[in-house]
Every structure is written in C-alpha cells, then in structure tokens.
Amino acid sequence: MIICVPIKRVIDYRVSAHIRPDADAIVTAGVKHSINPFDEIALERALQERDSGLVKKVIVVAVGDADTNEILRSALAMGADEAHRIHASKTPSPFLTAQLLKLWLEKNPCDCIITGKQAIDDDANQLGQLLAGFLGWSQAMFASKVSFKKEAAVEVTREIDGGLETIVCQMPAVISADLRLAEPRLASLPAIMLAKGKPITVTDASELELSLTEKTRVFNYRTAPIRQGGKRVANLNELMQVLNEAGMEA
Amino acid sequence: MTVGVLIEHDGKHMKTSSRHVITAASECQKPIIALVIGYQLDSIAAEVALCDGLDAVWVLDHPDYEYASAERVALWVASLALTHVLASANAFGKNLIPRIAALLNVSPIDGVLSILADKHYVRAMYAGHILCDVISDDLIQCVTITPTAFKSCASLKQAVSIESHASVDLPLLSKRVSMHQADSESPELATAACVMTIGRGVPPELIPRIKRLAKRYKAALGATRAVVDAGLLPNECQVGQTGQVVAPDLYIAWGVSGAVQHLAGMKHSKQIVSINKNPDAPMNAFADFVLEADVVSVLSAWEARFASLEEKCVSQELEYEL
Ligand SMILES: Cc1cc2nc3c(=O)[nH]c(=O)nc-3n(C[C@H](O)[C@H](O)[C@H](O)COP(=O)(O)OP(=O)(O)OC[C@H]3O[C@@H](n4cnc5c(N)ncnc54)[C@H](O)[C@@H]3O)c2cc1C
C-alpha cells in the first residue's frame, strides 16, 4: 500500500502575517515558513503506518514554486520515502490544488491520501473533501484515530461538533488529520543533512494540462478590528456588578 | 435561482446553527429550500418547515441515510437544480460543502462572515487575524456560513410545504460503526448564550466544580486545545481556530492565556471575562473585564456567593413556613 500526503508551505504559526500596502496579498518574502502543522500531523501518522510494516511507501507532494522544496526536504528528513513538487509560481486555491493533485495522481497512483484538515493560512478546510469528490473516493475528515483493516478498509474516528464518530471507509480513501491524530516526530540532525541530497521530482503544472485560472478572486485584505479590553476589576463582587450593569445576569 | 440550505440535526431536532444559516440564505434574496437528510425525519421536517424565510422543505428520508455519509449526501445535493448551496461552517458543513463543490466543479467558499452582494463575501483567514473579500465567478455558489455572524431565524405558525425525494444509488463507500455524543442536557456550545472556558491555568481537580457552576448558569463548557490535548475535557469543547467558533453574550475564560489560535474562536463574544493571575497574559489585554487573580480563590468566592444566596432562600422559605 502507498500513502500519499499532500503538504502545504505556510507562514509559520509563531509568526504573525502582514498585509501588503496594496491590500491585495500577504507579505511572504523574507518571512519564516514551515509545513502546515496539520499536514505534519498527517505525515507523522502515515510514517507510523509505514514503520509498522503495513504500508510500503509514503510519498509527499506539494504545489508551489522552488521555495516549496524547503518543506519537502523537512518531510524527507522526517522519513518520507519520496518527495514531489508540482510547479506553480503562486500557491493556488484549495480548488485548483485539488484539481492539480487529481491529475498528478493519475500518473502517480496511491491507495490512500492523508492530509491536514486545514491550512493555517487560508483556514479553508477544503482540500481533502475536494480531492475525495474529484476522485470519487470515500472520505473521512477531521480524523483523531486511524486504523487500517486487512480487507481494503480503514476505520477512522472523526472529531465532530457534538463528540466523536467512528466510521469505516472502503479504500481508496481520503483522510484529513485533526490535531490529536499524532504527535509529529522531530527529524534528527543526520536525517536533515541526508535529506539535503535527496531528489525532489518536479512536474510543471502545464504538463498536467490544466489552466491555472482561479474561479474566485481574493482582495481587500485588512486586519480584523482589534478588541479594546483590559478593564481591571478588583474582586468577584465588582465583577458581578459590572456584569449586571452590562445587562448580564451573573 | 434557488438556494439550498443543508439542515443539521441530531436525529431528533434541527441544530440551532442551521437557523443562522437560513438567515444568511435570506440575504441571497432568492427562494430558499431547506434540505433535510436522514431517516425517520417527520418531526424534524415539521420543525424545519416553520422556519422564517423558507419556501419549501425537501426531505430525503431513507434507512440508508440514517448515517448520512458525505459521499451519498453530496451526490444527492449535486443532482438538485440549485444555484446556491449553503451549510454551517462547522464539522457538519465543512465535511459536505467542498465535496458537493467538487461534483459541481465549483470553487467552494468557507466561513463566510457577511454577504456583500450576490457572489461577493467577506471571510477571515490567519486565525481570524485578517479579513478579506472574495468574489466568485462560478455559476453555482457552494458556501459555508459562520453561524455566529448571522442571527437565528424565528419560527412561524404557518409551515411551508414538505416534499419527499427519492434516494440516489451509490454503492456503500463508508458506514458508521459507533458514535459518542456529548450530553444533550447542556446547551449547544456554538450557539450558547454563556460559555465558561477552562484553560491550562485551572488545576484539573477544579474542573468538576467549574462544570457545576456552568450548569447553574446554563452555560456551555469550552476548553483550550491544551486542556483537550491533556485529555481533561473532550474534543467537542475545544474553542478556537481549529475548534468551534462561539460568540455568546458572556464568555468567561478561566486560566486561559489567550493565544491567537484560541482568540480566533471567541473574539466576537459580546462580553469577555478573563480570570488569570498573570498580568501579562494576552487574554488580560483582550477581555472586557479582567480579574487578575488565582482561579482557585475566585472559584471558592463564587461558590460561597451561591451558598449564601441559597441559604438566604432557604431561610426565607423557613420564615414563610413559620
Ligand atoms: C495549528 C495550531 C492550532 C491550534 N488551535 C487551537 C484552538 O483551536 N484552540 C485553542 O485553544 N488553542 C489552539 N492552539 C494552541 C494555542 O496556541 C495555545 O497553545 C493554547 O490555546 C493554550 O492553552 P491555555 O491558554 O489553556 O494554556 P496556557 O497557554 O498554558 O495558559 C494558561 C494560562 O493560565 C494562567 N494561570 C496558570 N495558573 C493559574 C492560576 N492558578 N490562576 C489563574 N491563572 C492561572 C497562566 O497565567 C496562563 O496565562 C493551536 C495551536 C496550533 C499550533
């Protein structure tokens, strides 16, 4: 069995994003980037399965420009067997990314896809579902537990609004990782050094014969209004008082 | 031009969040159809049919849909002649809308906060830190709506018509084997009027006591990721960028530092109270009212207040009896 893990390069979660003066994009040049944390969790879960012997190979794939190689190398350092990049000069929307991946997977088949449930830049939470829809595969989103069964099926516990739900999906399946699916390993220094020399296969988006025209236009980026708070109250009685004044029954 | 709203329910009642999506749908100013999917839906469909703003309810009621898998639901919804498909931006809607969009070959839009014009939306990104406009060129709009950004629709006396639909044929790709539901006694976290959230600053042995306090206020219980990861509260309590988004009238944060990922899930609350002993905690700069104190002492004082109130009630009752 082969697991494919699509990963995305995003601004690191410890860095706050800034808007370009023309309000048409986010500043990315010179900003620390890393693997989207949810994709890192997905990769860790796939690697665990390979390490336990059920899975033959874990391949990672990312869409983007040459800077994207950096996260592919991090993935190789964690232990991914192969790294692939679909070249696009700008990071496309989840919709275009899913279309590109679908076409790419026709030439690079796999049995299961595990990816992060959302990217922490656009917060869209769409890629896995889109890909499952395009491929006509079963889907198990927001997974906190995954166990592969012998009979071409996978059992997945999903984090849903009211609690947890466990489903069994026919393979091939698309799974998206929630926070508690796995704890990503740290790559060792030798593994990081070794990953520098490993090959990354590059496919140009044009080879996939897909026009890279977006169907949505995103603009007028602005900082969300910041709340002005911080009023100190001395004790619980005073808190009760101000809450009552604000019309709260406390 | 018809708007379809996917209705979320628990097998007994429709979820409040779907009422907020119906309000958002009415801003599209087109006929609105509520889509209800599952098994043995008579009472739910009757409840939905009273929602203000609807033109009809379409029901897919079939034993195969008791577990309404994304694969089957998407296939049915994509087969309907709709121009807009809306659902709530929570685990329910996020699971379905992008798959429906893929079948219709349109680019979905997630977490809409306001609708400025037809096909023109505002949404948030980067943990709610940045807002942006999105304009879609697609003929069909597939959208998830942030429920807290729209009001809940009212119930009317007059019901709209309920129409049955036949199920679609698709081999079984996934099935449910078990389900763990949160206790249905406490209010729905996403739409509760009051939320009490437990952070890492709350010693674990205090959690049952805060739960009791929350119950008295009919408040829903929230948690930070750190608390859920530690296994102290279940996942459905997590508030934040990657958990639930809430906007109650009153949000009380017990020992919560206020990381951006947490603020993303509660920043639109009407009044925020932070109980945190660290003067530099980001939550203490963010909250409307800050009690810079140890959660242990505040909780004890709060309980004592209740105890004395109750004593008063009891003694009054006694006087009355005498
Ligand atoms: C990709 C990603 C997604 C994430 N998604 C979410 C999310 O959806 N929701 C979320 O909540 N987090 C999320 N996080 C985690 C987030 O960054 C923080 O780590 C987390 O919110 C911190 O939780 P906390 O406030 O409970 O704990 P801490 O940060 O440890 O804060 C504890 C606070 O309690 C105070 N305190 C300690 N003892 C006491 C006492 N006795 N009395 C009073 N105060 C006390 C301390 O001063 C401190 O401010 C995410 C992180 C990442 C990287």
A105-142 residue pLDDT tens: 999 999 999 999 999 999 999 999 999 999 999 999 99
How much is the ipTM here?
0.96
For testing contact with chain B, the best of A155, A214, A216 (most B CBs within 10 A): A216
Q: Which of B43, B42, B52 is nearest to B18 (CA)?
A: B52
Instruction: Give the ligand 1 atom nearest the CA of B283.
Output: 49
Instruction: Report pLDDT for B170.
Output: 83
Give the DSSP letter string of B130-169: EEEEEEE--SSEEEEE-GGGSPPPPB-SSPPEEEE-PPPP
The answer to whether B117 contacts chain A (CB < 8 Å) is no
Residue A102 reports pLDDT greater than 80: yes
Q: In terms of DSSP bridges, do strands A2-6 and A57-64 run parallel, antiparallel, or are they unpaired? A: parallel
Go through chain A and tell me how many residues it has: 250
Question: What is the spatial distance between Cα A94 and Cα B72, in angstroms, rounded to a whole number?
Answer: 22
Residue nearest to atom 53 of ligand 1 (CA): A13
Question: What's the pLDDT at A250?
Answer: 60
Q: Which residues of B touch A230 (CB under 8 A)?
A: 284-287, 290
> Do the chains contact at B97 and A129, CB–CB below 8 Å?
yes
Residue A140 forms beta bridges with which residues?
A175
Output the six-digit token pair for A64. Answer: 């983007």
Give the mean pLDDT of A51-67: 96
How far apart CA B273 and CA B89 sit, in angstroms, is: 26
pLDDT number for residue A235: 93
Sheet with A112-116: strands ordered across: A200-204, A82-87, A57-64, A2-6, A112-116, A173-177, A138-149, A153-160, A163-170, B174-181
pLDDT at residue number B315: 65
Give the span between the Cα atoms of B144 and A58, in whole angstroms: 32
Atom of ligand 1 nearest to the CA of B200: 26
Cα A89 to Cα A214: distance, rounded to the nearest angstrom? 13
Note the pLDDT of residue B111: 97
B195 vs B216: CA distance, rounded Å: 12
At A7 the pLDDT is 98
Pocket of ligand 1 (CB under 6 A): A 13, 37, 120; B 199-201, 224-227, 238-243, 255-257, 259, 261-262, 265, 276-278, 281, 294-296
Which residues in chain B (286-305) have CB-CB distances under 8 A to chain A? 286-293, 298, 301-302, 305
Residue A124: φ, ψ to 5°: -80, -35
Mutate which of B6, B72, B121, B125 to test chain A, going by most A C-beta atoms within 10 A? B125
Q: How high does pLDDT run on average in chain A?
A: 95
pLDDT in tens, chain B (322 residues): 999 999 999 999 999 999 999 999 999 999 999 999 999 999 999 999 999 999 999 999 999 999 999 999 999 999 999 999 999 999 999 999 999 999 999 999 999 999 999 999 999 999 999 999 999 999 999 999 999 999 999 999 999 999 999 988 888 899 999 998 876 677 889 889 999 999 999 999 999 999 999 998 889 999 999 999 999 999 999 999 999 999 999 999 999 999 999 999 999 999 999 999 999 999 999 999 999 999 999 999 999 988 877 776 666 656 655 5
Q: Residue B285 Cα, ligand 1 centroid: separation in angstroms?
A: 15
Per-residue confidence band for A242, with pLDDT thresholds at 50, 70 and 90: confident
What pLDDT was estimated at residue A39? 98
Spell out the domains of chain A, with CATH numbers in brackets: 2-217 (3.40.50.620)
Cis (ω within 30 of 0) for the bond into A172?
yes
Q: Taking CA atoms, what residue in A is nearest to B304?
A: A236
B244 min Cα distance to partner chain A (Å): 8
How much is the pLDDT for B185?
Answer: 74
pLDDT band at A212 (very low <50, low <70, confident <90, very high): confident
Confidence of residue A246 (pLDDT cuts 50, 70, 90): confident
Higher pLDDT pick, A212 / A8: A8
B253 near A CB under 8 A: no
Atom of ligand 1 nearest to the CA of A13: 53
Q: Whose CA is nearest to atom 27 of ligand 1?
A: B200
Confidence of residue A161 (pLDDT cuts 50, 70, 90): confident
- Residue of B7, B21, B107, B120 to mutate, interface with A, max A Cβ within 10 Å: B107
